[in-house]
Amino acid sequence: MVLALIAAFMVFVDGTIVNLTLAQLASHLHASRSELEWAVSAYTLSFAAVMLGAGAITDTLGAKRAFVAGLLVFTASSAVCAAATSMLVLNFARLVQGAGSALLLPSALILATASATDEQARHRLVGWWAAAGGVGMAAGPLLGGALVALANWRSVFAVNVVIGIPAALWSIRSMPTTARGSRRLDIAGMGCATALIGGLVFALVQAPAQGWLSPAVITAAALAVTGLVGFVWAERSTRAPLLPPGVYSDRRFVAAAAQGALFNFAFYGLLFAMSLMLQQGRGLSALVSGLLFLPLTGLISIGSICAAPLARRIGRPVVLGIGQAVLATTFLAVAWASTSSALWLLVLALVPAGFSSGLLVSTMTSQSIAAVEPALHGAASAVFNTSRQIGAAIGVAAFGPFLGGTHNLREGFIVCVVVGAAATAVALLLTALTRRATVAAAPRGSLNAQAPRATSSHDTPDNLPERA
């Protein structure tokens, strides 16, 4: 259990900690804006690509083997990141690091709950696991700022090695071996999905610097289209598809996946833009910048705790609508606060942004899983996670050009935040349309059409963990 908590912390902290190294990377390694975008996007890109099949990989290898393999890959790639002398090496290592994280996540959850003797104990262990991830995500900016201030950007990656090596040795010696499953791997589907996601994100990141008609961007776009066509063909040809038809046939699930992508687009785009705005635009230190992130990341855990009771009381669609409305409004408040030299206004504006984000993360996860049959919960979770990571990668890729050059970062930041508000407004529209369609499809006189499903052991997804 302890090892699973450590793994969850490491995976989630690396999703946010690197944002506080961007200013030093630009200075020490002479990184361009697109290279800085890749320092963040490379991790989420490979995480998304491998996560789609991570459950099947874990089932095929066994939880212990998948955990140890993921931990070794994550630790070794972190060492390469720490020793990198160029952005090319760093970003390639970040790609590998994201793949290791994707292997760690589902295997760690299985191992965390292996000792549960009943359903209540299982949910309690899942809660601890989710809390470790939430603490990691919240601590990322602050920990990154502190490490950069005390040492330099290399320490952000070196700390993974310091933790990862003992954890790997401990897991090999003490972790019980788990049985392998009989599930077949959809290798063709995984390869095509990787080509699709990688080509799409590469084109979006490189196009502003190289031009949309440059050979590299055109090649990446062609790879993405080829990957899409190949993925559709592969999924129709295999008996064990990564994306079962029952997952995407429900409009509620499709809406939840789209909302997850839109949320991560806005949230991770904001993290990227805000880090550069505070350090390069306002000249603040990495430590002070990390502290300013706390109202945003720290309150996500509190919002997540409040989400399930609220959903039981007023229904998931209502919680989604409230959270999205508050977040969209808060984005506009952040844009206004950023025009003032007083930092306390920005801090106040970030408080409701963090809380509403916590409401949304938990509720969207619950909605995505409740929309499908229990047998498809694992596949739905993988697809939902993947859609969110794709949204995060595209958000960072899009917010880079919106942010502009170092001479006008404050103006560019306002543009970024307004775009984030617009993306959240689109998610709110999806919530309204989905709820209306569900009500219209429900039988007349049904009083529970919008009530949260919550009675069986399969319908308790509000406690499931999720990458924020």
pLDDT digits (tens, 9 = 90+) for 18-48: 888 888 898 899 888 888 888 888 888 888 7
Evaluate whether 323 touches 356 at the Cβ level (below 8 Å): yes
Evaluate whether 79 touches 161 at the Cβ level (below 8 Å): yes
pLDDT digits (tens, 9 = 90+) for 262-315: 999 999 889 888 888 888 888 888 888 888 888 888 788 788 788 888 888 888
How far, in Å, CA of 90 to CA of 161, rounded? 15
Confidence check: pLDDT of 367 > 50 = yes
Evaluate whether 236 touches 405 at the Cβ level (below 8 Å): no
State residue 427's pLDDT score.
Answer: 93
State residue 392's pLDDT score.
Answer: 86
State residue 419's pLDDT score.
Answer: 93
High-pLDDT (> 70) share of the chain, %: 84
Give residue for tokens 């998948």.
66
> Average pLDDT of 80-87?
93
> Average pLDDT of 223-249?
84
How far, in Å, CA of 404 to CA of 412, rounded? 5
Give residue for tokens 């010696």.
173
Predicted confidence band at 417 (pLDDT cuts at 50, 70, 90)? very high
Confidence check: pLDDT of 445 > 60 = no
Evaluate whether 414 touches 339 at the Cβ level (below 8 Å): yes
Give residue for tokens 């919008």.
450
Q: To which H or E segment does residue 111 belong?
A: helix 87-112
Evaluate whether 449 touches 438 at the Cβ level (below 8 Å): yes
pLDDT digits (tens, 9 = 90+) for 331-364: 999 999 988 888 889 999 999 998 998 888 888 8
High-pLDDT (> 90) share of the chain, %: 22
Confidence check: pLDDT of 128 > 80 = no
Confidence check: pLDDT of 457 > 70 = no
How far, in Å, CA of 95 to CA of 89, rounded? 10
> Average pLDDT of 62-68?
84
Residues ≥6 apart with Cβ < 8 Å to 198:
45, 49, 220, 223, 224, 227
Q: Which two tokens stand for residue 351?
A: 């408080």
- Number of helices (H) and strands (E) in the chain: give both, helices first: 16, 0
State residue 122's pLDDT score.
Answer: 62
Predicted confidence band at 406 (pLDDT cuts at 50, 70, 90)? low
State residue 444's pLDDT score.
Answer: 45
Check residues 452 and 166 and name the one with the higher pLDDT. 166
State residue 452's pLDDT score.
Answer: 41
* Range in 1-10, 27-36, 61-70, 89-98 with the lowest mean pLDDT: 1-10
Nearest to 107 by CA among 171, 184, 186, 40: 171
> Average pLDDT of 133-152?
80
Confidence check: pLDDT of 101 > 50 = yes
> Is 108 buried (19+), middle (13-18) or exposed (0-12) by CB count in 10 A?
buried
How far, in Å, CA of 241 to CA of 236, rounded? 8
End-to-end Cα, the chain, rounded Å: 21
Predicted confidence band at 460 (pLDDT cuts at 50, 70, 90)? very low
State residue 123's pLDDT score.
Answer: 58
Average per-residue pLDDT for the chain: 81
